[in-house]
Amino acid sequence: MLQFFGRGSAFQYEQNSAFFTDGDDIILIDCPMSSFHKLIRMNIEQLTESRNVRIIFVLVTHTHADHVSGIATLIQYAYYVWHIPIVIAAPSQEVKDDLRFLFSRLEGCDMAAFHLTTADKLKIWVKDVIPTTHVPGLNGRCFGYNLKIGDASVIYTGDTNTLEPYKQYLTDGGDIYFYTEASAAKSPVHIYLPDELDYLKSLTDKGIKVYLMHLDDEDKAYELIKDTSIMFAPLYM
Ligand SMILES: [Zn+2]
Ligand SMILES: [Zn+2]
């Protein structure tokens, strides 16, 4: 379903970001600088069926640097090198305004080089934008997504310190993929894996595919999930 350019937390070399394709469109979920570096080292045409990219979309969860630090440079690269249109989708109007300031005012991107919108406009994939809590400094500006990709429901937490907003989507039946951030270190701003392990196992028992992402310590996380059906988010490269 989703594939990842990185599944690490903010202090890791490869920070968290995912993508999927739909026909000739590539849809990224967040884009840290580590993912930008991977994108320009590969032939991105190989990601699409026709080997001809129509539009690159970037769905943003929140404005921490480990999620948005590569987007402005990606805008420049898509415009000047690839000549591929790029659409940045913010989770809310407020985050859209923040991103306009970041790309236009701070990064100096040419307004002709990108289109900025809100994710609710991308109804073909985005069924719900899910508000959550993460850090006090970004209160009201952190989100996850309920996506429809083909016939599958994809629930993506983004950075969060609670699973409560997502539980309504994790019911029985259907083809459900749940991508949740998880930390081995306890903190007030992320999901502490030992606390949620039983809940996540109950989801896999119901047939929901559960993937861990935004990991701070893969070795410790592996020890916790090795006898379960919970998986690590798959790395593309
Ligand atoms: Zn993060
Ligand atoms: Zn964050």
Q: In this structure, which residues have their CB less than 5 angstroms from ion ligand 2?
A: 64, 159
pTM above 0.85, yes or no: yes
Tell me which residue range forms the domain holding 71.
Answer: 3-232
Q: Is the pLDDT of residue 224 over 80?
A: yes
- Taking the centre of ligand 1 as the mean of its atom positions, its distance from the CA of residue 129, in whole angstroms, is 17
Domain total of the chain = 1
* Confidence class for position 210, pLDDT limits 50, 70, 90: very high
| Cβ contacts of 30 within 8 Å, gap of 6 or more | 16, 17, 18, 58, 59, 60, 61, 67, 68, 158
The CATH number assigned to the domain holding 92 equals 3.60.15.10
Which two structure tokens, joined as six digits, stand for 58?
A: 């970037």
- Taking the centre of ligand 2 as the mean of its atom positions, its distance from the CA of residue 215, in whole angstroms, is 12
Angle at 15 between CA 110 and CA 51, to 5 degrees: 60
d(CA 68, CA 122): 19
Average pLDDT, the chain: 97
Total number of residues shown for the chain = 237
Q: What is the pLDDT of residue 172?
A: 76
Q: Are 115 and 109 in contact (CB under 8 A)?
A: no
The bound ligand whose nearest atom lies closest to the alpha carbon of 138 is 2
3-state DSSP percent of the chain in helix, strand and coil, to 5: 35, 30, 40
Domain contains 194: yes
Which two structure tokens, joined as six digits, stand for 185?
A: 């270190």
- Taking the centre of ligand 2 as the mean of its atom positions, its distance from the CA of residue 189, in whole angstroms, is 8
Q: Are 113 and 79 in contact (CB under 8 A)?
A: yes
Domain contains 109: yes
Q: Are 222 and 202 in contact (CB under 8 A)?
A: no
Which two structure tokens, joined as six digits, stand for 12?
A: 């890791």
Kindly write down the DSSP assignment for every residue of 55-96, as one continuous string: -EEEE-----HHHHTTHHHHHHHIIIII---EEEEESSHHHH
Domain contains 130: yes
Largest CA distance in the chain: 51
Number of H helices, E strands in the chain: 6, 12
- Taking the centre of ligand 1 as the mean of its atom positions, its distance from the CA of residue 66, in whole angstroms, is 5
Could you report the per-residue pLDDT of 165-204, keeping only the tens digit for each? 999 999 976 799 999 999 999 999 999 999 999 999 999 9
- Taking the centre of ligand 2 as the mean of its atom positions, its distance from the CA of residue 164, in whole angstroms, is 17
- Taking the centre of ligand 2 as the mean of its atom positions, its distance from the CA of residue 54, in whole angstroms, is 30
- Taking the centre of ligand 2 as the mean of its atom positions, its distance from the CA of residue 68, in whole angstroms, is 10
Could you report the per-residue pLDDT of 10-59, keeping only the tens digit for each? 999 999 999 999 999 999 999 999 999 999 999 899 999 889 999 999 99
Q: What is the pLDDT of residue 49?
A: 85
* Confidence class for position 147, pLDDT limits 50, 70, 90: very high
- Taking the centre of ligand 1 as the mean of its atom positions, its distance from the CA of residue 10, in whole angstroms, is 5
The bound ligand whose nearest atom lies closest to the alpha carbon of 137 is 2
Domain contains 20: yes
In the beta sheet, which residues pair with residue 52? none
Domain contains 69: yes
Domain contains 237: no
The bound ligand whose nearest atom lies closest to the alpha carbon of 64 is 2
Q: Are 144 and 160 in contact (CB under 8 A)?
A: yes
Which two structure tokens, joined as six digits, stand for 63?
A: 């404005």
- Taking the centre of ligand 1 as the mean of its atom positions, its distance from the CA of residue 158, in whole angstroms, is 8
